[in-house]
Structure 1
Amino acid sequence: MNRPLRLLGLLATVMFAGCAEDWGPDQHGADVTAQQLNDQWLLINYWAEWCGPCRAEIPELNALDKSRDDITVLGVNFDGLQGKELSEAANALNIDFRVLSVDPAERLELPRSEVLPVTYIVDADGKVRDSLVGEQTAEGLLARLEKLQQK
């Protein structure tokens, strides 16, 4: 292979690798990029409209998402809602944090939970550090994050 073609191939690989790191659109259709999540600890919360504890913890997750610059809450609809249905469900539950349209389970090697809600804590390097089943509070999540960040 000649040098210009190798260079072009390398450039294409780098470009496609960068795209693969993005997280897909949120409930508003805006792209959630890898760059936006750089140096962030992620709280990935699986929820459903029919889940009472999910509804109860949403105000806590909203508050937590706004509380610190190094933490991002990302929601994932358990039932796989997309597009307008996802946007309407998130609005109906007053979700202020971003909800991913693309489930990150495969990307992060997350098991499919049999119960809701479930929240996964992912460190700034993209490693899943913990999973918490059941309704969470902002205070409890912050305490767990602080312990994990000290390790």
Structure 2
Amino acid sequence: MAKPLVSFLILSACLLLSACEKDWGVDQHGREITAAQMQGQWLLINYWAEWCGPCRTEIPELNALAESEQGLAVLGVNFDELRGEELAQAAEALGIRFRVLSDDPAERLQLSRSEVLPVTYLVDDKGVVRERLVGEQTSEGILAHLARLKGE
């Protein structure tokens, strides 16, 4: 009788702890990005700005990854900290089809502010930043980095 109770308590504690993980805020459309949605996925977090030429060039590559790669969530962050309608308009003007965070996850992921753009971070399914990629990226290059990191 004690074994089922212990199992139940352990399961309950795990569920409570996972439910306590902080959500990611809202995207450019005001939709909540929950911790549960991101759980178990690798994350690609890309910092971009409207005035950044290489950022503009790599957006189609990131769109393709967001639309084709299972187990990878592509999230953008506006370097200039745009929010609300300004963020939505900037993302639309650049043709961004992946989700853009209204709140910068730098503190959460212990990232220092980058001096250059674009910068992309690859975060594993445990929430650990595994790679910092500086400069314009291609979907092929990112997939190669992911394959290497997943194989380590």
- TM-score, normalisation: structure 1: 0.88
Q: Matches of 1:130 and 1:118 in 2, distance apart?
A: 10
Residue correspondence of structure 1 range 52-91 to structure 2 within 5 A: 52-91=53-92
User: What is aligned with 2:122?
Assistant: 121
Which amino acid is the alignment partner of residue 55 of structure 1?
R
Q: CA deviation at 1:39?
A: 1.0
Which amino acid is the alignment partner of residue 29 of structure 1?
G
Q: Matches of 2:53 and 2:86 in 1, distance apart?
A: 19
- TM-score, normalisation: structure 2: 0.87
Q: Matches of 1:88 and 1:69 in 2, distance apart?
A: 27
Which amino acid is the alignment partner of residue 33 of structure 2?
V
User: What is aligned with 1:4?
Assistant: none
User: What is aligned with 2:97?
Assistant: 96
Residue 148 (1) aligns with residue 145 (2): no
1:96-136 alpha-carbon deviations (Å, 9 max, x no partner): 00000000000000010000000000000000000000000
SS of the residue 1:136 aligns to: coil
Residue 43 (1) aligns with residue 13 (2): no
- Measured at CA, do residues 107 and 131 of structure 1 come closer, stay the same or move farther in structure 2, by a change above 3 Å? same
Aligned length: 138
Q: CA deviation at 1:69?
A: 1.4
Q: List gaps (5 residues or longer) in structure 1.
A: 1-13
User: What is aligned with 2:11?
Assistant: none
CA RMSD across the alignment: 1.5
State the identity as a percent.
66
Q: CA deviation at 1:67?
A: 1.3
Q: CA deviation at 1:68?
A: 1.5
Which amino acid is the alignment partner of residue 127 of structure 2?
G
User: What is aligned with 2:35?
Assistant: 34
Q: Matches of 1:42 and 1:114 in 2, distance apart?
A: 21
User: What is aligned with 1:135?
Assistant: 136
Q: List gaps (5 residues or longer) in structure 2.
A: 1-15
Q: Matches of 2:60 and 2:102 in 1, distance apart?
A: 21
1:43-83 alpha-carbon deviations (Å, 9 max, x no partner): 00000000000000000000011112101110000000000
Q: CA deviation at 1:18?
A: 3.8
Where has structure 1 moved over 3 Å in runs of 4 or more?
A: 17-20
Q: Matches of 1:80 and 1:106 in 2, distance apart?
A: 14
